[in-house]
Amino acid sequence: MASTFEPSNLLSLVEDIKQAALQEQGPNPSAQSHFRLLGLIDELRLAVETPTETVLRLIYQPPQNAALRTVMDLGIFPLLMESGKCGLSAVELASKTGAERGLIVRLMRVMTALGLCASNESEIYVANEKTLILTQPIGRDGIPCIYDLTLPTLAKLPDYFREHHYLAPKEYSKSPMQWAVGQSQFEWLAQHKHRQALFNSYMSSRRHGKPSWFDIYPIERLTTDARDHSEAVFLVDVGGNQGHDLVKFHDKHPDVPGQLILQDLPKVVARSPGEGIQGMGYSFLDPQPVKGARTYYFRAIFHDWPDHICRKILVNTVSAMDPEYSRIIISDFVLPDTHVPLLQASLDIQMMSIGSGVERSERQWREMLDEAGLEVRGIWSGNPGMESVVEAVRRG
Ligand SMILES: C[S@@+](CC[C@H](N)C(=O)[O-])C[C@H]1O[C@@H](n2cnc3c(N)ncnc32)[C@H](O)[C@@H]1O
C-alpha cells in the first residue's frame, strides 16, 4: 500500500521528529517543543497513511467515543487501577460490572487499540500509563459530561444546517442544541444536576498541569499601583464556576491588595469558594454590581456565546469599570489565521452547537472589544494547548 509521500520526504520528517524528540527528552523541554513534536507526529501519520486509511480512521471515530463512554459507565478503569500489574480478565470484569463477558471483550478491544490500557494476553486487561487519568476528574467526569452534553446535538448537526440554509447560528436561544434537544447548554446543565456536577468538576480539572493565565501574563501590570483599602477589589472572576482559578490565584499571590470575588450563576456559585474569596451569585447578562475593580477576569466565557451576547456582557462590565484603573482580562483561545490546532477548531464547532458560541481570531476579538468601547492593550499567548490572555481597558 503506497503512501502519498516521497520516501525522501518521509525520512526527513522522521529526522525532524528525532530532533524534536531529543529536545523533548533533553534538560530544557518546553511547551512549544512538545507541541511541535506532536504536530510532526500528526504530519508523519498523514504522510504514511493512504488517503483511504485516513477516511476510514475518520469514519470510525464515533463508535470509539461511544465505547469509551460505556466503559466509563461500567467503571472498568478504576477496577483495572485497583488490580495492579495482574490486571483483570474479561470474566472477572463481567462479574464485577454485571456486563456480559462477550460485550466486555468487544468494548475492551477498542480501549486497548486506543492505548487506554494494555492487553498482551487474550481477554486479560492491565492498566497502563494512560489509565490513571481516566479515573481522575478530567477523564472520569469530563468524558461523560462532554459526551452527554454534545453528542445528541452533534449527531443532528448536519440536519440542522440543511434545515437552516447553512447559516452559522447567531442566537444562543436558537442554537443547534436548542433545535435538537430543546435546550441550550446552561439550561440543560441546570436541569440535569448530576451532569452539572460533572461539568463543574471537569471545568476545575481540565487545565491540570498547564500554566495559568497569571503564569503567562505579567501580573505586575495589575499589582503595581493597585489600590489598598478595605473596599478595594483586586479581581472579580466573572463566570468563575466554583472558584478553581481564583483558588489557584490566591495560592500563588496571597498578598495582592484588595478583595477577590467569585461570580457565577447563583446555583453554581453557592458552595464556599475558598479562603480569602467571596462568592456572589450574579448573571453577567445584567450590569456588573462590583464597581471599579482592578480586574474583571473572564476565562472561557466568551467562547460560549454569539457576538451580540458577548457585547452585552462586555458593556455590562464596561459600565462598572473605572477608566483610569480597571482592566478586563480575557483568557480564551485566539485562533491563528492558518494552521489552527485541531483541538481549537473542534472546540469551535462544539461551542457553536451547544450555544451558538464562537472561538475567535485576533481580528474578531479586536473588533468585538472595540464595539463594546474597549481598547486592547496586549495579547499574551502560551502554547497551542492553552488559551491566550487579552488585556483591555475602557476607552476614553
Ligand atoms: C465554560 S465555563 C468556564 C468556567 C471558568 N471560567 C473556567 O474557565 O473554568 C462557563 C461558566 O459560565 C457560567 N455562566 C453561564 N451563564 C452565566 C451567566 N448568565 N452569568 C454568570 N455566569 C454564567 C457557567 O455556570 C460556567 O461556570
Which pLDDT value is given to residue 210? Answer: 84
Residue 217 near residue 389 (C-beta atoms within 8 A): yes
- Rounded to an integer, the average pLDDT of 327-353 is 95
| 389-to-238, 257, 291, 362 alpha-carbon distances in Å | 15, 22, 22, 11
- Residue nearest to ligand 1 atom 27, measured at CA: 241
Average pLDDT over residues 42-52: 96
Active site residues: 303
∠ CA 158-159-165, nearest 5°, is 90
- Residue 127 pLDDT exceeds 70: yes
Nearest Cα residue to 220 out of 184, 253, 180, 186: 253
Can you tell me whether residue 223 is helix, strand or coil? helix
Task: Give yes or no: residues 248 and 301 share one domain.
Answer: yes
- The reported pLDDT for the residue numbered 322 is 97
Q: Same domain, yes or no, for 155 and 233?
A: yes
Cα separation, 185 vs 304, in Å, equals 9
Residue nearest to atom 5 of ligand 1 (CA): 240
Same domain, 329 and 239: yes
For residue 240, report the distance from its CA to the centre of ligand 1, in Å.
6
Q: Do 156 and 221 reside in the same domain of the chain?
A: yes
* Whether residue 168 is found in the same domain as residue 297: yes
117 and 144 housed in the same domain:
no
Cα within 13 Å of Cα(173), Cβ side? 2
Domain with residue 234: its CATH number is 3.40.50.150
202, three cell numbers: 471537569
13 and 148 share one domain: no
Q: Which of 72 and 28 is assigned the larger pLDDT?
A: 72
Over range 187-207, report the average pLDDT. 94
Indicate if 192 and 276 belong to the same structural domain: yes
- Give nearest CA residue, ligand 1 atom 18: 283
- Burial letters for 84-110: b for 16+ Cβ neighbours within 10 Å, e otherwise? eeebbbbebbbebbebeeeebbebbeb
Q: Is the CB of 236 under 6 A from ligand 1?
A: no
* Beta carbons of 123 and 112 less than 8 angstroms apart: no
Residues 32 and 175 in one domain: no
* Residue after which a domain boundary falls, among 109, 134, 159: 134
Q: 197: number of CA atoms within 13 Å, CB side? A: 4
- How many structural domains are present in the chain? 3
Residue 284 in contact with ligand 1 by CB distance below 6 A = yes
Question: Which residue has cell 452533534?
Answer: 154
pLDDT at residue number 356: 98
pLDDT bin (cut points 50, 70, 90) of residue 382 is confident
Task: Give the pLDDT score at 28.
Answer: 84
**Can you read off the three cell numbers belonging to residue 365?**
476579538
**Residue 46 or 271, more confident:** 46
Asked if residue 130 and residue 153 are part of one domain, the reply reads no
In a domain, residue 2? The reply is no
313 in the same domain as 181? yes
Compute the distance between CA of residue 215 and CA of residue 104 in angstroms, rounded to an integer. 44
Q: How many residues does this entry show for the chain? A: 396
**CA–centroid distance, residue 195 to ligand 1 (Å):** 15
Cα 233 versus chain centre, distance: 28
pLDDT at site 61: 97
* pLDDT of 3 over the 90 cut: no
Q: Enter the DSSP assignment of 303.
A: G
Nearest CA to ligand 1 atom 12: 239
The answer to whether residue 249 is domain-embedded is yes
Q: 347: Cβ below 6 Å to ligand 1?
A: no
Residue 275: per-residue pLDDT: 85
Q: Check: CB of residue 257 under 8 Å from CB of residue 234.
A: yes
DSSP string, 343-361: HHHHHHHHHHHHHS---EE
pTM score: 0.92
Domain assignment present for residue 241? The answer is yes
Q: Over 70: is that where the pLDDT of 106 sits?
A: yes
CA of 264 relative to ligand 1 center, distance in Å: 6
Question: Which residue, of 81, 109, 134, is where some domain finishes?
Answer: 134
Indicate whether residue 285 lines ligand 1 (CB < 6 A).
Answer: yes
Task: Report whether pLDDT(207) > 90.
Answer: no
Tell me, in angstroms, the distance from the centre of ligand 1 to residue 310's CA. Answer: 13
Query: If pLDDT is split at 50, 70 and 90, which confidence band does 178 have?
Result: very high
- Listing DSSP states for 15-33 in one string gives HHHHHHHHHHHSSS--HHH
Q: Which of 241, 242, 263, 310 for a ligand 1 pocket mutation test, highest count of atoms within 8 Å of Cβ?
A: 241
The pLDDT of 332-338, averaged and rounded, is: 94
pLDDT by residue (tens digit) across 244-301?
999 999 999 999 999 999 999 998 987 778 888 999 999 999 999 999 999 999 999 9
Q: Considering the domain boundaries, does residue 252 fall inside one?
A: yes
Say what the pLDDT of residue 48 is. Answer: 95
d(CA 351, CA 338): 20
| Mean pLDDT, range 41-64, rounded to an integer | 97
Task: Return the amino acid letter for 297.
Answer: Y
Distance between Cα 212 and ligand 1 center (Å): 17
Question: Mean of the pLDDT values across residues 157-182?
Answer: 98
Task: Note whether 208 and 385 are within 8 A (CB).
Answer: no
Measure the CA–CA gap between 107 and 88, rounded to whole angstroms.
14
pLDDT at 144: 97
239 lines ligand 1 (CB under 6 A): yes
Where do we find the cell 454590581? Answer: 289
Determine the Cα–Cα distance for residues 122 and 235; give it in Å rounded to an integer.
56
CATH at residue 72: 1.10.10.10
- Per-residue cell: 189: 446543565
Q: How confident is the model at residue 7 (pLDDT cuts 50, 70, 90)?
A: low
The response to whether residue 387 sits with its C-beta less than 6 Å from ligand 1 reads no
- Choose one of 210, 248, 268 to mutate for the ligand 1 pocket test, by most ligand atoms within 8 angstroms of C-beta: 268
Residue 219 in any domain: the answer is yes
Instruction: Evaluate if residue 100 carries a pLDDT over 80.
Output: yes
From 146, 206, 264, the mutation candidate for ligand 1 (largest count of ligand atoms within 8 A of CB) is 264
**Does residue 1 lie within any of the structural domains?**
no
State the pLDDT at residue 98. 98
pLDDT band at residue 4 using 50, 70 and 90 as cut-offs:
low
> Is the Cβ atom of 265 under 6 angstroms away from ligand 1?
yes
Is the residue at 226 inside a domain?
yes
Lowest mean pLDDT among 52-56, 67-71, 301-305, 335-339: 335-339
Write out the three cell numbers for 237: 472572576
Please report whether residue 77 resides in a domain.
yes
The two beta strands, 259-264 and 233-238, are parallel
Q: Are residues 145 and 36 in the same domain?
A: no
Q: How confident is the model at residue 9 (pLDDT cuts 50, 70, 90)?
A: confident
Please identify, among 134, 167, 198, the residue that sits at the C-terminal boundary of a domain. 134
Domain interval for residue 334: 136-396
User: What pLDDT is attached to residue 271?
Assistant: 72
